[in-house]
Amino acid sequence: MKKNKLTITLAIAAFASGAFAADDEINYSFGLKSWNHKLKTTGSTDTENTSASIVSATARKGDYFLATSFFLPTTYSKNAQYILRKDTDYAAGYSLNSNFSALLGTKKIGVREYSSGWGSSTINMTYLGLNAFTPVGESSFIFGQVTRSIKLTDSSITAAGVKETFTGYEAGYGYALNKNTQLTVGYRNQKLSVNNSSYSSNTLPGVIFGVNITP
């Protein structure tokens, strides 16, 4: 039973499978991550590295879970240009088996940008995702997540026939300090690509560190 509880803890920490929680007990987890990354824009210089904080919470019952995360306001800078971004995510998921789970979510990205003056835009999307998780030994695990938008609107793109797509992935390694606390380290990459060369595509790659708490 002790090993099974640890497996449940690791699975919750990875936002992956809940198949081990067969008792239908509601399990909760809370996370805090620091993402060290930069904003890379086609046809332009990269921004300086910045660290973004991401807070999250997950509730799981049996094979189902609800998750939310908040990308706290983060500033990107290059030359005399400043970009401020914040995100809000909500998702619902289902465990396909002990190693994989699927999710459907919504994301809202708010952007304010200063160059010669202030401007703002909002991105709203619906996305699909797949989480993967596997234990490595009794106290560690590896995990991964891939997401892709299936519907996206961007207030800064008004031309007809222009389509923007969001893709993201994260993969890493985690270690359980005890049954309530887990540390993670990984790599996260997000990309907003546009099918029209008149618009720029953005990529955000970087290393991400996290801590998960499961009361």
Work out the percent of the chain whose per-residue pLDDT is above 90.
Answer: 64
What's at 5, amino acid-wise?
A: K
Q: Which run of H or E residues covers position 154?
A: strand 140-154
How distant is the alpha carbon of residue 42 from its chain centre?
22
Cβ pair 74, 34 in contact under 8 A: no
Task: Summarize pLDDT for 136-179 with one digit per residue, the tens.
Answer: 988 889 999 999 999 999 998 888 889 999 999 999 999 989 88
**Can you give the residue range of the structural domain that contains 49?**
2-213
Partners of 141 in the beta sheet? 135, 174
Q: Above 80 in pLDDT, residue 186?
A: yes
Residue where the block lists tokens 């300086």: 48
Task: Summarize pLDDT for 35-57 with one digit per residue, the tens.
Answer: 999 999 998 899 999 999 999 99
Question: Would you state the structure tokens that stand for residue 136, as one six-digit string?
Answer: 């490595």
Of 16-30, 43-57, 67-81, 143-157, least confident by mean pLDDT is 16-30
Question: Would you state the structure tokens that stand for residue 137, as one six-digit string?
Answer: 């030994």
**Which CATH number characterizes residue 29's domain?**
2.40.128.90
Could you give the number of structural domains in the chain?
1
